[in-house]
Amino acid sequence: MEGKSLSEPFQLGKEIVIYEKAENARNWVEKKRYDFEGVGPWCVAIGQMDEYPDIEVFFGAYRATRYFPEGPRPYFFTWDFKEQKLLRLWTGSYLDAPIFLTAEFEDIDGDGRQELKLEEIEWLGSQEKHYTTHYTYKRKMFLPLKVKREIRQ
């Protein structure tokens, strides 16, 4: 990333808050609040990537990790309905490209399971490459798997 910059600065958040709405209720109720100020989340996406009822929570945070310099990092959690808490799956290591700008979940193959879609950037020398990459994972040993990648110019 040395000498490279993004067109827009990241707007960092401070908390991840989980809300729940009962089937016949009018209002959402706060279930849990997590202080992530030291992590600095800037994007959040939620989805259903597997057959379990728990919800996958992905967020991007702008920070350094043990092995990588400061930059946008991917974090995966799952919201465990039974234990009513976030469980950590993947924290901070690159998935593939060093930068991602947006995250969302969508079912690209019609199997009822959503894949994580990231808009990614990578620099190869002075050339900037833009990708749209879809990821899934194996739950037993959390391992992000690249399903599909499109090069955008």
Q: Residue 27's pLDDT is what?
A: 92
pLDDT in tens, 89-108: 877 677 777 778 888 999 98
> Global pTM?
0.74
Question: Which residue is listed with tokens 């990537």?
Answer: 49
Q: Residue 143's pLDDT is what?
A: 66
pLDDT < 70 stretches in the chain:
1-12, 92, 138-143, 153
Residues 6+ apart with CB under 8 A from 11: 42
Q: Residue 142's pLDDT is what?
A: 63
Asked whether the beta carbons of 136 and 58 are under 8 A apart, the reply is no
Nearest to 9 by CA among 129, 101, 75: 101
Q: Residue 89's pLDDT is what?
A: 80
For 84, counting Cβ atoms within 10 Å of its Cβ (0-12 exposed, 13-18 middle, 19+ buried), the class is exposed
| Domains parsed from the chain with CATH numbers | 15-152 (2.40.128)
